[in-house]
Amino acid sequence: MKTASGSSAALALSPEVPGVKTAGVTGKVLAKPAGPAGFAPGAGGAAKFQDSGGAVIEIGKLQLIFWGSAWNSNPPPSPTSGQVAGAVETILHGSYMTGLAQYRQIGRAYRAGSYVITSSNPPNPFTDSDVANFISTQINNGVLPGHDFANQNLYLVIMPKGVNNQNSGFIGEHTYYTDGGGNRVHFGWITNNGDINSVTSVFSHELVESCTDPEGSAILGVAGTCSQGGWCEIGDVCYVNSVLDGVTVQKYYSNVNSGCIAPVYPALNFPIHGTQFTGTIPANTTERWFTYNWPEIYFVQWEVVPTTPGAGPQISYRVQVERPNGAYLTYWISITNLTNQPVSIEAHYNILGR
């Protein structure tokens, strides 16, 4: 929940392999799952963190906010808001958050908006209430988007250099407030010592903890895991930094790996292709399959081809995509036999990259 210094991570994500079923036929697997499914699992061991069942943010809609006129000063501050925003984009697009799939299949967040707000300045020192009131005012004024129906918005505020929290030693925190409609608004703040590596380290810590435990009721340490007060979260036992794609991040704890991780993508040579399932479509009939547990990190292209000889068009097909959770995708493939004879088919996948 609160960070007094930096932390980072190493290897993770062990999903089930993708499978394939016909729609409506529960449990009937038609073909061997094809890979790759994701990262190899770690050694495992006693879990330090458990799911207490509270709210999580499965696919975070990050609202990145720079508060205060200092962000538009001349000469510009170091780091600039643009430099911080660029580093944040690298974190979100990379492998850093993929290890969260082990925690209720949380996926990578994305930057839904970036704002430099100079209509007010944060007090120095500031409190959580100051930040909550600032966000609430900006939402009410139409500057920031308000509550979304899935409650995936995450408001993270980057302070100007030298603006500190009233609690000495606290350099980042995330929490929530309840708005007038009874919605819990998830937010956090990150202090700025003028070093972009420090800013991104604290940012990454608050990012993963906000997603796994936005209200202090979800992914929490078992008794004895943390020594500090407050919420015991996955970043609170891993005050070690790592560099991913040129950006400094903090590690976070992985139950799968029994240690602190900053996930990296496995070395794979794309494209990767194969046959996911085969079948036979009766004459003048449409049948529907779904193939599931495909990590959202992969760009997958599908092709269905007839394996029965024929003259003229034999089949048509349509691919639809479902996001059942943050980390994985399900592909629904409807195949229509255009002839008056049974037609056998193969469904091929082609993973073009990440």
pLDDT in tens, 276-327: 999 999 999 999 999 999 999 999 999 999 999 999 999 999 999 999 999 9
pLDDT digits 0-9 by tens, 28-74: 233 333 333 333 334 445 689 999 999 999 999 999 999 999 999 99
312 or 18: whose pLDDT is higher?
Answer: 312
**Six-digit token string for 209:** 């903890």
Confidence of residue 18 (pLDDT cuts 50, 70, 90): low
Q: Where are the beta strands (DSSP E) in 47-86?
A: 49-51, 61-67
What's the confidence (pLDDT) of residue 229? 80
Query: Which residues on neighbouring strands pair with residue 42, listed in sequence order?
Result: none
Closest CA to 52 of 225, 306, 311, 289: 225
| CA–CA dist 250, 96 (Å, integer) | 9
Confidence of residue 228 (pLDDT cuts 50, 70, 90): confident
User: What is the residue-averaged pLDDT of the chain?
Assistant: 88
Distances (CA, A) of 253 to 16, 50, 148, 191: 20, 12, 29, 23
Do 66 and 41 meet the contact criterion of CB atoms below 8 Å apart?
A: no
What's the confidence (pLDDT) of residue 157? 98
pTM over 0.85: yes
Whether residue 187 is predicted with pLDDT greater than 90 in this model: the reply is yes
Average of pLDDT values for 7-11? 23
| CA–CA dist 127, 157 (Å, integer) | 13
Our CA dihedral for 260, 325, 248, 232, rounded to 10 degrees, sits at: -50
Do 350 and 294 meet the contact criterion of CB atoms below 8 Å apart?
A: no
| CA–CA dist 18, 38 (Å, integer) | 10
